Amino acid sequence: MGSSLLTAFALMLIIEGFLPFIAPAAWRETFLRLARMGDGQIRFIGLTSMLAGLLLLFIFI
């Protein structure tokens, strides 16, 4: 279980690092837009992301 969790965390870090590495200006602009959003909008994005992740887990496991 611990090994799988570390593997998932490592993959998440790799995926999260793609955009800042490939297109730092686009990443910066996206981050600035996110910083200007309200709390409700950010929570909705987080909820949508978590639900999409759960759906993928159920599909592929």
Q: What is the pLDDT of residues 16-53, one digit of tens each?
A: 999 999 999 999 999 999 999 999 999 999 999 999 99
**Rounded Cα–Cα distance for residues 2 and 38 (Å):** 35
Number of domains in the chain: 1
For residue 54, the one-letter residue type is L
Range of the structural domain that residue 36 is part of: 24-61
**Rounded Cα–Cα distance for residues 61 and 49 (Å):** 18
Is there a domain that residue 16 lies in?
no
Is there a domain that residue 15 lies in?
no
Say what the pLDDT of residue 10 is: 93
Query: Side-chain half-sphere of 7: how many Cα atoms within 13 Å?
Result: 4
Is there a domain that residue 7 lies in?
no
Is there a domain that residue 55 lies in?
yes
Is there a domain that residue 2 lies in?
no
Greater pLDDT, 41 or 3: 41
Is there a domain that residue 37 lies in?
yes
CB neighbourhood size of 18 (10 A) = 10
